[in-house]
Chain A
Amino acid sequence: MSFASFGEFLNMGGHALYVWLSYGAAAGVMLYNWAAARRQQRRALQDVLDRMRREAGGRADGRAGRGDEER
């Protein structure tokens, strides 16, 4: 441990702004990349599901229509 106390660690020998700004930005960029990949996966799957639902919906309606005629 190269710091005597936690306060000193946070202070970074007077360079707190620079050090924490860099690490904050890095964390932000990485979180963004992680979230972007996740969101893209979700959206891609959701798009497939939506299309399947639309197609299935069309087919189901058709079936329901025939059913009504029979009744």
Chain B
Amino acid sequence: MTLKELWHRLGSPRWFYRISGPLAWVLGILALVLLVSGSVWGLAFAPPDYQQGNSFRIIYIHVPTAIVAQSAYMLMGVAGAILLVWRMKMADMVLAATVPFGMTMTALALFTGAVWGKPTWGAWWVWDARTTSMLVLLFLYFGLYALRQAIPRQETAGRACAVLAVVGVINIPIIKYSVDWWLTLHQGATFRLTEAPAMPPEMWIPLAVNVLGLYCFFGANLVGRLRAEIVRREARTAWVRALAAGELQTAREVSEDEVLRMGPGPGAGR
């Protein structure tokens, strides 16, 4: 399959639905294995930090969530650009499916950061450069979520969110840079504990495993939500109706006869 063909196929919800079932399972199982092993490794086997003791083990969950939350926003920016330029239906679905996941991940990163800050810095909230950037990111997510809720027509809402996501992605590097500068202006370098001085491998390998695991979880979750979006938006097409009829039969809720009677709907062909 050439790249161009793949591109065209990615635009087809039906094709994506067909191949994505196993994909979700593979990614989900990978995520489970990686996250469990990375967390157990980080929690029980990695040596304690010489300064922070055992509370540093929170980074095995905090850092991956923060990374994935930012990647999710970047993905939305790319999806938004694709939607605006090529009007690809799937891009809008990716936008819609990523917002809730990214929002919860950003909130989780902020929460774990606060819980980490308490034993490390002695305060639940410290205006550290990364926490502050994450807070602004959370507001960006809220904006996207609110905009989609506010616009009743689905297609219009999708394209409006795409514009906002693209403008947001362009602004994120500037926001990060400005917040970094703001911190040096107001607090000096005292709170720069986040920059761990050269982690030994037995500390960072579990971190890398968890980062990879959370990316897999993101992938699995995105595919799962996309499949739901596809069924919801393509509910009137023949192939989704055939799919639903198949579901019914395997669930033994109806007989073959009843399914046949319902038929595949207008413009059929199963």
**Interface residue B132 (Cβ < 8 Å from any Cβ of A):** no
Q: Which of B45, B231, B261, B265 contacts A44 (CB 8 A)?
A: B231
Residue in A18, A55, A60 whose Cβ sees the most chain B Cβ within 10 Å: A18
**Measured CA separation A55–B48 after assembly (Å):** 64
Q: Which of A1, A13, A18, A59 contacts B44 (CB 8 A)?
A: A1
What does the 1/0 interface line of B230-270 toward A look like (CB < 8 Å)?
A: 01100100001101110110000000001001110100000
B residues in contact with A38, CB < 8 Å: 224
Contact (Cβ within 8 A) B244 A45: yes
- Chain B, interface size category, equals 35 or more
- Chain A, interface size category, equals 35 or more
Contact (Cβ within 8 A) A3 B44: yes
Q: Which residue of A lies closest to B266 (CB)?
A: A55
**Measured CA separation A41–B35 after assembly (Å):** 24
Contact (Cβ within 8 A) A18 B58: yes
The B contact surface, by secondary structure, is helix
What is the total of A-B residue contacts with beta carbons within 8 Å?
120
Given A12-B54, A33-B221, are A22 and B228 also a contact pair (CB < 8 Å)? no
A residues in contact with B100, CB < 8 Å: 33, 36
Given A19-B43, A23-B61, A47-B235, are A12 and B240 also a contact pair (CB < 8 Å)? no
For residues 5 through 57 of chain B, which have their beta carbon under 8 Å from a beta carbon of chain A? 35, 39, 43-48, 53-55, 57
Task: List chain B positions with a Cβ less than 8 A from chain A.
Answer: 35, 39, 43-48, 53-55, 57-58, 61-62, 65, 100-101, 104-105, 107-108, 111-112, 115-116, 118-119, 217, 221, 224-225, 227-229, 231-232, 235, 240-241, 243-245, 247-248, 258, 261-263, 265
